[in-house]
Amino acid sequence: MNVCVLGAQWGDEGKGKIVDLLTPRFSIVARYQGGHNAGHTVYVRGRKFVLHLIPSGILHPGIICVIGNGVVVDPLALFAELDEIAGMGVDATGRLLVSDKAHVILPYHRELDVLAEARRGERKIGTTSRGIGPAYEDKIGRRGIRVGDLADASIDGPLASAVRENVAARNRLVGNVDMSADQVLADVRRVWPRLHPLVTDVSLYLHRAIAAGQRVMFEGAQGTLLDIDHGTYPFVTSSNATAGGAATGLGLGPRAIGTVIGVAKAYTTRVGEGPLPTEQTGEIGERLRETGQEYGASTGRPRRCGWYDAVAVRYAVRVNGLDALAITKLDVLDGLETLEVCTAYRCNGTILTEMPGDTAQLTGCEPVYETLPGWKTPTRGITEFEKLPAEAQAYVRRIEETSGIPAAIISTGSERDHTILRKEFEKFV
């Protein structure tokens, strides 16, 4: 059975660690959306790896990693990442495949990203300014350039005219210095020799691999509440981070997905703008940020931190069809006297137990909390559920009750072996 692992909150849930942990059970790890704005931090034997575009499965010898059509690819960022991991002794030769249908991020996308964010002023979204949003805009606007298009070496063929048209559009928008279409074209042509050997019909490749009995893990980037359709729009990313994205982003039918695991932190964080009902701006927020090291893996930005939001995770269970949770960073709560869990929102005097679709309404919501006792002894590094302090077990059980699904995995530290894999829920992973 194939497994999809995705974020059940606002991203940065620790998906990288969970994907890395489960990878030995699979032959292939496939990314289906997002770009190099994602930042997966993985610690292996004390060494830190930060992967942005390449699935973290690459750190395991023999695993094939796939970048699907739903991803937007900045070839230079991809090469930089390949060089970086090569420098750390990871050989990706022959193990990385890129869809010919993935859209390419070009230099003007990065500029347009900065420009669009500046124009939004007070209503800024807090993007990473890496050109990802504008590349997706071009995709939906049907003027994008796809990886497979880069094969066209003719002087005045479809690639050259698409680049010229897009650069001309950029020059009309960005008033200061004109960008040279010839220069962009020359840069684009330069990446092809290195990119070419990686380019594949990913849908066909995966279809055949699955038919031959290979197991695939689908790796989501960002998180459910950042999904372009189901997140807190407009404070979202430009792609479908939810489970449906795995089918469209790789060219597979929904039945190929198998089980869906939602990764959720034992508390809540969010980077960038937008509503975060359980946000703690005071001492608790600071405590979670420092203990959890809640600073963006891609940008270093401090993350906004707050209590566990059961309404948000329950919503993730619904829109993704989650089978089980992987709860991460339980150890970050070690030593807190009491813990709050948000079980509903109070909006204009009404109690909501489901996530409202209207972002403005959500912004005005107050969390309704349930208080649970904290635990005195540390959970860090514990590998068996029964060895957790009773209060920590009760906390996890409350998360299971409020979400309606089991916590198959509980992470108690950043290392691979700081993990509880619960035998009774093994069937989900």
**40 annotated active-site:** yes
Stretch that binds ligand GDP, among 104-112, 113-121, 349-357, 409-417 (CB under 6 A): 409-417
Position 379 contacts ligand GDP (CB under 6 A):
no
Structure tokens that stand for 28 in this block: 């292939």
Position 412 contacts ligand GDP (CB under 6 A):
yes
Measuring CA to CA, how many Å separate 237 from each of 34, 127, 258, 340? 8, 8, 25, 28
Position 130 contacts ligand GDP (CB under 6 A):
no
Stretch that binds ligand GDP, among 13-21, 90-98, 315-323, 348-356 (CB under 6 A): 13-21
> Which has the closest alpha carbon to 216: 71, 416, 421, 65?
65
Measuring CA to CA, how many Å separate 302 from each of 95, 227, 298, 364? 34, 21, 11, 23
**152 annotated active-site:** no
Query: Which amino acid, one-letter code, is at 139?
Result: K
Closer residue to ligand GDP, CB minimum distance, 7 or 274: 7
Closer residue to ligand GDP, CB minimum distance, 98 or 288: 288
249: phi then psi, degrees, rounded to nearest 5: -80, -5
59: phi then psi, degrees, rounded to nearest 5: -70, -10
Can you name the residues that pair with 218 across neighbouring β-strands? 4, 30
Closer residue to ligand GDP, CB minimum distance, 166 or 328: 328
Q: How far is the CB of 411 from ligand GDP (least distance, A)?
A: 3
Q: How far is the CB of 329 from ligand GDP (least distance, A)?
A: 4
Position 403 contacts ligand GDP (CB under 6 A):
no
Residues 245-304 within binding reach of ligand GDP (CB under 6 A): 297
Say how far apart CA 51 and CA 370 lie, in whole Å: 37
Closer residue to ligand GDP, CB minimum distance, 369 or 385: 385
131: phi then psi, degrees, rounded to nearest 5: 85, 5
Query: Which amino acid, one-letter code, is at 287?
Result: R
From the list 73, 332, 339, 409, which residue makes contact with ligand GDP (rule: CB under 6 A)?
Answer: 332
Half-sphere exposure at residue 16, Cβ-oriented, CA atoms within 13 angstroms:
24
From the list 29, 30, 32, 39, which residue makes contact with ligand GDP (rule: CB under 6 A)?
Answer: 39
Q: What angle do CA 187, 97, 300 make, to 5 degrees?
A: 70
Task: Select which of 36, 40, 109, 418 is catalytic.
Answer: 40
Query: Tokens 């090569």, residue?
Result: 86
From the list 5, 6, 8, 12, which residue makes contact with ligand GDP (rule: CB under 6 A)?
Answer: 12
What is the three-class DSSP state of 212? coil
Position 17 contacts ligand GDP (CB under 6 A):
yes
From the list 4, 13, 72, 170, which residue makes contact with ligand GDP (rule: CB under 6 A)?
Answer: 13
The DSSP symbol for 154 reads: -
Closer residue to ligand GDP, CB minimum distance, 226 or 317: 226
Position 36 contacts ligand GDP (CB under 6 A):
no
- Cα 18 to chain centroid distance, Å, stands at 12
Q: How far is the CB of 301 from ligand GDP (least distance, A)?
A: 11
Which sequence positions are flagged as catalytic? 12, 40
| Interacting residues with ligand GDP (CB under 6 A) | 7, 12-17, 39-41, 43, 297, 328-329, 331-332, 411-414
